[in-house]
Amino acid sequence: MCLELPQFINYLKEQKKASESTVDSYQRDLKKLDSYLAEQGVDEVANVTATTLNSYILYLEKQGMSTATVSRNVSSMKAFFHYVYRRHEIPDDPTETIRAPHIEKKMPGTLSQEETVRLLEQPSGDTPKELRDRAMLELMYATGMRVTELILVRTADVHLGLNYVLCSEGGKERVIPFGDMTKHAIERYLKEGREKLLKGKKSDLLFVNCSGSDMSRQGFWKIVKSYAAKAGITSDITPQTLRHSFAVHLIQNGAPLESVQAMLGHSDLSTTQAAYVNLGVDRMQRVYHAAHPRG
């Protein structure tokens, strides 16, 4: 093995407080790079050069990987080599001149407000599963949580008296409010559905699957897909669509970017701006043209 990964992975977990999904992504990318280096006869990290890494990037592109995937691999290698360089394990950082391929910024897929209402109203029955599904969809749209955050919410994290949820991932916490419709959906699920799904099992998680075990990301993805089809929504929709729709609808209705940033859990306002600032511009233009005498 050329790349000594365990210490770096531990650094990500213990010092950077990276999320589980981020750590898994870095580890997966770097293991692929390590295999490539071994095939090239590179057996020491100090022997890795910028030329070797650029050849690896070209190799990934020839494998038909998307620009986004290649860019993520470049980010992973940069993070690793920055780390070993700071630890004085290599004389120079070979990624210093490496540049990730340009990714064209696309507006994240969103639902209209009318489509969102149709989606949320699909699980309208009284079965434990439908009560859970309604509560999950309502909570995700009400808070803009990431999927991993949603499935890891504990019952103790939900404060129904004050209408907010404590959301945490990767050692970071934030408080997100929600409205009365979401509160009602969660209350019904807790009162009439959750214990029946648990089937005598114990769990501190708010949402469990139909076997009483932990909900998975894939399980929630299937829930969203199923109800989208029932709602007649033909556009491609994922759990992430609800998160983006949450942000878009807030901004369209006048919410400040700083507030949306805090609720989304973006550490840097520029992340929020990159995805959603054009919505603010569009809104300002509509207001201007509607209100200005010569608009």
Q: What local confidence, expressed as pLDDT, does residue 276 receive?
A: 57
Rg (CA), the chain: 23
- Closest residue by Cα to residue 12 from 28, 34, 36: 28
State yes or no: pLDDT of 270 exceeds 90: no
Task: Specify the residue for token string 């950082």.
Answer: 93
89-92 own/partner pairs: CB under 8 Å, 24+ apart? 89/45, 89/46, 90/45, 90/46, 90/48, 91/46
Q: Which of 274, 281, 273, 272 is nearest to 252 (CA)?
A: 281
- Check residue 214 and report its DSSP letter: B
For 248-265, what is the mean pLDDT?
Answer: 79
131: Cβ contacts below 8 Å, ≥ 6 apart: 123, 185, 188, 189, 192, 193
Q: Which of 171-175, 201-205, 241-245 has the lowest mean pLDDT?
A: 171-175
User: With 60 as the cut, is the pLDDT of residue 65 above it?
Assistant: yes
User: Do the beta carbons of residue 228 and residue 120 sit within 8 Å?
Assistant: no
Per-residue pLDDT, averaged over 142-148, amounts to 88
pLDDT value at residue 249:
85
Q: What angle, 0 to 180 degrees and rounded to 10, lies between the N-to-C axes of helices 20-39 and 50-62?
A: 100
State the DSSP code for 101: P
